[in-house]
Structure 1
């Protein structure tokens, strides 16, 4: 993916076609992984947003990925699968609980994963330099969002791909939520985003369903189907005179 390429339906559709075969293998592996967890795993990412995350990571080929929020490790295993298939890259995951540590298979984690337990607000010194993909799925309240928008986002270089989960469970983000804070921040920087949300963006959502069916990727990995995540490129940080 060329630096600065807009994350939109056209790009994502092209990535589905380019990486169709390895994506199919990962989907099968994730389905088997979920079955093997026997109820000990609660997937947070729905299938389309998990697949888009994988595809963007494959195309971006980042050296360093940061994941803010892990819960049981569903997103962690998707991210690590992309880094494995790239043959490069390290994931730094941050959470206040460590359920993920017992869940991520060693064949995915070994040599490519570092888990940091603790409140990120007290642990900024552990954030790696030169993050090339940022994945956010942590506390979803507006207060925490305003913190990371002010403290973490300025550490990320302009143009870096970013994904934020749980923004569009409905047509609009609810007031005082993380989603509302992030969307306001993006509007203030004239920055576009893409979402596969069924309720916010039904036409792109339907187009992706049809493409996945065409490519033979329509068998569900798990049952979620809201896909509330947004994707965008980190805008230039505003200076004191902006």
Structure 2
């Protein structure tokens, strides 16, 4: 994702990886089935775009900040599996994810570190080709990662940040407000399929998904508040 992501690019990715995405959606759906239903954090479109960007980028090193129960972790790991290459390094203060991620999916391609990533920065590989952030949504945490984590990363890598646009605008004094201001100061464009912030993009992608027989929801929530950008 070395050029700004836009709706046409995302639509092309959906069409390119339709069959693989259909299979992965069913695999993820199975994780939500009782009796041991996983607690899912990402909505469908943002999870699918993350998977599609990973397929396109074919990263060797992926960093995930925030795992909770492993919904995003499993989406990322399936993309690495389908690429046939890549390793995921995940960080969280809780270890629920260790009991949720299927062993066969994790084997050989996943390293989990428990603890506050702010105290483990030296363990975060600065060779990352892809960065995913869904952790504390406070302004304080966002100030930390724009000052200390992002400057360690290589320019041009794809970055995903969750929970930015639950409304038309990011709330003040939140992670979203901090990261959007940081992007604006650098002239760094972003893409979102948020239903509240970009309803026309959200609706077009849902129409594309219906045409590709991907319209049946995996997860009921449809806010899709994530933003995607290339690190400038």
TM norm structure 1: 0.94
Distance in 1, matches of 2:35 and 2:197, equals 32
Deviation at 1:34, TM superposition (A): 1.4
Deviation at 1:37, TM superposition (A): 5.5
Distance in 2, matches of 1:36 and 1:75, equals 19
The alignment partner of 1:71 has SS state of coil
Q: Which residue of 2 aligns with 1:58?
A: 55
Q: Which residue of 2 aligns with 1:124?
A: 121
Q: Which residue of 1 aligns with 2:100?
A: 103
Distance in 2, matches of 1:5 and 1:184, equals 20
RMSD over aligned Cα, in angstroms? 0.9
**1:18 pairs with 2:16:** yes
1:6-37 CA-partner distances (Å, limit 9, x unpaired): 21111110000000000000001100121156
Aligned equivalent of 2:27, options 22, 26, 29 = 29
The alignment partner of 1:225 has SS state of coil
Q: Which residue of 2 aligns with 1:144?
A: 141
The alignment partner of 1:55 has SS state of helix
Aligned equivalent of 1:176, options 149, 173, 177 = 173
**1:75 pairs with 2:72:** yes
Deviation at 1:129, TM superposition (A): 3.0
Mark the CA change 1:36 to 1:89 in structure 2 (over 3 Å): closer, same or farther: farther
**1:6 pairs with 2:4:** yes
The alignment partner of 1:163 has SS state of strand
| Structure 2 residue runs without a partner (length 5+) | none
**1:219 pairs with 2:211:** no
Distance in 1, matches of 2:212 and 2:117, equals 40
Q: How many residues align?
A: 232
Q: Which residue of 1 aligns with 2:46?
A: 49
Deviation at 1:4, TM superposition (A): 1.8
C-alpha contact (below 8 Å) 2:61/2:128 kept by paired residues: yes
Q: Which residue of 2 aligns with 1:204?
A: 201
* Moved segments of 4+, more than 2 Å: 36-39
